[in-house]
Amino acid sequence: MKLVHISDIHLTVPGERMGGLNPHRRFAQALDDVRAQHSDAARIIITGDLTHWGEPAAYATLVDALIDLPCPVRLLIGNHDDRAAFLAAFPDHPQDAAGFINHAETVDGTRLIYLDTTEPRTHAGHFCSRRRDWLEAELSNCTHARLFMHHNAMALGLPAEDKIAIVPEDRGPLAALLTKYRDRIDYIHFGHVHAPVHGTWCGIPFAAVRSTGNQSLPNLNEQELLQGAPMAPSYGVILAQDTATTIHEIPFTWDGPIFSAGTNWDDWAKPMAAE
């Protein structure tokens, strides 16, 4: 099963820039690359910060952008999103009984669980008891699952970024829940940090992908300020085979030279000088 993981597209009202670049163009480039290279994907999953300021006109551009894709798209919201504006643009989108944008589906034998970690007017993530109850019901009823979320649940050793991870009062109970079901959670995939980060938490491997827009510079010393730069973006391609996982980072804006080489021993031999 191939899953395309895109994150932090930060769409604006058309004509407005985000961090000095055009987020619509970047997102369109990413989708064009997916169409060209990954038409066999089972899902395209966009893990939040769908818009930059949560405006209806920005969500309208997302509705239009998702036409004519090779497979279904699954959407999560992030701290830059507005739940009501999102639902106005996607009125048939699934919600849980409490109104959170939690949803799940089984694809190729794996439960894909898409979580809503947002809270109004804060950049930090939240995952309250109602959301944990919903997640526990999902985990208790599946054989194995893959979690997608916007926020990093765990601290990452980035003091400024860690201020807007899932808040500590929700992190502890979430860690207890995930630890309880760790044997059936294959991976945790998220965005929010605008950088590739990999590790394990509660005994479960995790990975974050870059933004399609601006990237963050991992600063392990800065205490207050997030630091970013218009570095090259990428999206992720997840190859999931039962409980096994391989993740590729796809630099979809690269337009420089590409070299080809065979893999036989002699293909890499030093060219012999002419005699």
Q: Which residues would be at the binding site for Fe ion (CB under 5 A)?
A: 8, 49, 78-79, 192
Which among 134, 117, 113, 130 is positioned nearest to 48, based on CA atoms? Answer: 117
Distance CA 223, CA 160 (A): 5
Distance CA 2, CA 44 (A): 9
Least distance (Å) between residue 10 CB and Fe ion: 6
Least distance (Å) between residue 22 CB and Fe ion: 16
Quick one: residue 214, left, alpha or beta (phi over 0 = left, psi -120 to 50 = alpha)? beta
Least distance (Å) between residue 47 CB and Fe ion: 9
Based on CB atoms, which residue is closest to Fe ion, 48 or 202? 48
Based on CB atoms, which residue is closest to Fe ion, 19 or 70? 19
Count of alpha carbons within 13 angstroms of residue 214, beta-carbon side: 17
Least distance (Å) between residue 11 CB and Fe ion: 11
Least distance (Å) between residue 211 CB and Fe ion: 6
Based on CB atoms, which residue is closest to Fe ion, 8 or 116? 8
Which among 183, 258, 273, 253 is positioned nearest to 30, based on CA atoms? Answer: 253
Least distance (Å) between residue 231 CB and Fe ion: 14
- The two tokens of residue 97 are 């009984």
Q: Measured in whole angstroms, how far is the alpha carbon of residue 185 from the centre of its chain?
A: 17
Based on CB atoms, which residue is closest to Fe ion, 76 or 112? 76
Based on CB atoms, which residue is closest to Fe ion, 111 or 151? 151
Quick one: residue 137, left, alpha or beta (phi over 0 = left, psi -120 to 50 = alpha)? alpha
Which among 111, 28, 124, 112 is positioned nearest to 78, based on CA atoms? Answer: 124
Based on CB atoms, which residue is closest to Fe ion, 100 or 181? 100
User: Distances from the Cα of 245 to the Cαs of 180, 185, 231, in angstroms?
Assistant: 21, 12, 27
